[in-house]
Structure 1
Amino acid sequence: MIEAAKKPYFEKLFFLYNRQLFKRHFNGIYLDGPAELPDQAIICMNHSSWWDGLLLFHCNQVKIKHDIYIMMHEKGLKEFPFFRKLGAFSVNRGKPKDIVLSLKYAGRKLDEGKSVCLFPQGDEMHLEKRPLGFLPGAISLLEKHPHVPVLPVIFYYSFGDRKKQDLFVRICPPITYKELTGISRKEKNSCFEELFTKELDFLRNQVIEKNVSHFENVL
């Protein structure tokens, strides 16, 4: 696997570049979330666009403000190696041993007090596809680090009455290991996927009904 190689100076410079990139392509990034967030989390996002990793980076810089490490597919990290400087490390789901190594690496980062970010769907899928098809990586980490909550961060892209898209982000209340029903990893993963799906559908309905006046534009 490919480990992260974070560079704080690069993160600061990339934030400026990334913000301008979003301004060119989107009307705004509209965010809704709790007033208080945990100091550390296993951050999980839905994955429907190439923009998702960049969006997570921006939201972390302006709102979440954790020292994050994000699990990224090996092919994508080789194609865009600069993500390593932002905290990305690789996983290759085609190699079981590599999955184990990546999860162990993520676990070490949690032990160091860092936050780990992953896309439980694994691959990029259409925004409206159901079921979401979560893989069990997040629950595997949660089993070994039950003191660290899962923080669902939900992305929703939408075209409105303007030329460029609107981007909506909902940071949900954190979920602890004990709150996930079921005994086995599979059962807890199913519970997590169900909770995440409800939050995603709730955000979609808010956007459709234009009930978004309380969202803050963080672009």
Structure 2
Amino acid sequence: MKRHFQSFTINGAVQDKSLPILLICNHVSWWDGIWTLYTNQQLFKRKYHFMMLEEELRKNWFFQYTGGFSITKQSKSIFETFDYTAKLLSDAQNLVLLFPQGNIKSIYQNKFVFEKGTEKILQRTKNDIQIIFQANLIDYFADAKPNAFFNLHHYTGAWNVDEIENAYNTFYEQCLQTQAKKEI
């Protein structure tokens, strides 16, 4: 990462409560999984898992050795993936990354619509977990390489997917506003 980016900044104080972590993150580039892995290594030090579309995991097969597991939309196996994700979230040593919008979207998108899988996973989760939001943003400023900003927020609201989606959108909008005010 150091070869491709000028700097990395983690913003936001998140208390580790020694619970399994569901990390909900925007998906703007190929780098997102690596950025969240970096955040995990710096702060949480958990076993890292992430869900990928099966066709993407087939193309990038090496991700299965770094915590990647597949989901196939419009397939009966989708329920097995939801069960597997919930099982991962039953172990306090695990962090599961979820891109709730389901695929890569523009970094300039400011409204996220969560796929139904987020709700299905939460319904299957039987014990306490931490839900942490991460918003990845980049800016070049006066540098040739981009500066990466990883913004974090601990979600403490209701376990309702609509509430979580609204909270993530509010958090992301705040991150954009804060980022727009930065200067070099």
TM-score under structure 1 length normalisation: 0.76
State the one-letter code of the partner of 2:13. P
What is the identity percentage for the equivalent residue pairs of Structure 1 and Structure 2?
23
State the one-letter code of the partner of 2:10. L
CA distance in 1, matches of 2:139, 2:88: 34
How far does residue 111 in structure 1 lie from its aligned partner after superposition? 2.3
Q: Does 1:160 align with 2:117?
A: no
Match of 2:88 among 103, 109, 112: 109
CA 1:117/1:35 → structure 2, altered by over 3 Å: closer, same or farther? Answer: closer
The structure 1 segments of at least 4 consecutive aligned residues displaced by more than 3 Å after TM superposition are none
Does structure 2 conserve the Cα–Cα contact (< 8 Å) formed by 1:142 and 1:149?
no
TM-score under structure 2 length normalisation: 0.89
CA distance in 2, matches of 1:35, 1:45: 15
State the one-letter code of the partner of 1:200. Y
Does structure 2 conserve the Cα–Cα contact (< 8 Å) formed by 1:153 and 1:171?
yes
Which 5+ residue runs of structure 1 have no aligned equivalent?
Answer: 1-21, 182-187, 213-219
CA 1:35/1:173 → structure 2, altered by over 3 Å: closer, same or farther? Answer: closer
Does structure 2 conserve the Cα–Cα contact (< 8 Å) formed by 1:42 and 1:138?
no
1:180 corresponds to: 158
Match of 1:201 among 170, 173, 184: 173
CA distance in 2, matches of 1:162, 1:107: 42
CA distance in 1, matches of 2:141, 2:133: 25
State the one-letter code of the partner of 1:108. K
Residue-pair matches, total:
181
Match of 1:38 among 3, 6, 17: 17
How far does residue 199 in structure 1 lie from its aligned partner after superposition? 1.0
CA distance in 2, matches of 1:24, 1:50: 16
1:170 corresponds to: 151
CA distance in 1, matches of 2:78, 2:17: 27
Q: Does 1:148 align with 2:129?
A: yes
CA 1:150/1:139 → structure 2, altered by over 3 Å: closer, same or farther? Answer: farther
State the one-letter code of the partner of 1:149. Q
Does structure 1 conserve the Cα–Cα contact (< 8 Å) formed by 2:110 and 2:172?
no
Which 5+ residue runs of structure 2 have no aligned equivalent?
Answer: none
RMSD over aligned CA atoms reads 1.9
SS state at 1:164 partner: coil
2:57 corresponds to: 77
How far does residue 130 in structure 1 lie from its aligned partner after superposition? 3.9
How far does residue 35 in structure 1 lie from its aligned partner after superposition? 5.2
CA distance in 2, matches of 1:171, 1:103: 24
CA 1:35/1:199 → structure 2, altered by over 3 Å: closer, same or farther? Answer: closer
Larger radius of gyration: 1
